Chains A and B, each alone.
Chain A
Amino acid sequence: MDHVSLGRTGLKVSRLCLGTMNFGPCTSEPDSLRIMDRALDLGINFFDTADVYGRKRGEGVTEQILGRWFAQGGDRRQRVVLATKVFGDMDPPDRPDPNFARGLSARKIILACENSLRRMQTDWIDLYQMHHVDRACPWDEVWQAMERLVQEGKIRTSARRISPPGISPRPSTRPGSGTSWVWSRNRASTTSKHAPSNSRCFRPVGTSAWGSSPGAPWREASWRE
């Protein structure tokens, strides 16, 4: 399995990233554990999850499965570059709480991160991603929370941001980031007349081209700051 740098970071990740969205909702826990073991055996060291995965079955069900897998030891946690996400609804269905609902307030980010760490039985997240953008939350607030998490050692890589055009904040040149990533995701689903594909994208601030998957929109679409 080839390993490449994740963008301009020094982090080396496998070219295939293991997505875990099925773990819990579709794939049993024993099978999920086996898949993760096999992935490591195959050299896949990049695992992606999200706090909301498995939500219909309970709080952070997928992250909990990852946590029980890490807890098996064998350096499983150390061998994995762990990516998770924050943004989605994490309030209990029977007790709606606006501060746990979709969003990226500093309070939400910090609590969500701590809860993800607890569920995954780990001290750190390698790549902390914003699952979407919170148009109601000032970017300063988002950055402040992410930077604090980096300083506390709870996330290893700097805050990233989601950046649809028209809502971009000023470029981040803050310390601790080294590389300032812009993160975005696209979903060309039933509402799209175009490529049946989804993607997530990181890009350094200041560049304009970036990508999506099949249909090659990265060659035809561009971002504006």
Chain B
Amino acid sequence: MNAAEGSDPQPVLPAPDELTRFFWDGAGRGRLMAQRCSACGRYQHPPRPVCPACHSFSLEPAEMSGRAVLYSWTVGSQAFHPWFESRLPYLLAVVELEEQRNLRLVTNLVEVEEADVEIGMPLEVTFEHLAPGVDLPVFRPAGVR
């Protein structure tokens, strides 16, 4: 499971496509983005080509407040990729954004100890710099700063 000899492990980087580029571009500017249906106003994540509620193909990027609550979480206790070997244990989570019921994303919890994590806790987005131009939206307890 080691990376190529003589090199440090590298993170898995997102490979944006036409549908998802706005999300990662936004993250690079410190903004959490989601897709919003221009016709019915429904948000969705991950991005898709059509709104499943009203079948509009008119979907636009929208900035989220970054406030969320913790839906569930687990502790990554085993590295399935070299990048995570030095990061164990890491906190993997599903959070629900305040803008809409069930508008959720997979993320990491940061700036919190495992013992202090509680489902339902308020969270806020922050960004982890992975590589030049690549930032990962992650979440920390709300109001710690």
Do A and B truly interact? Answer: no
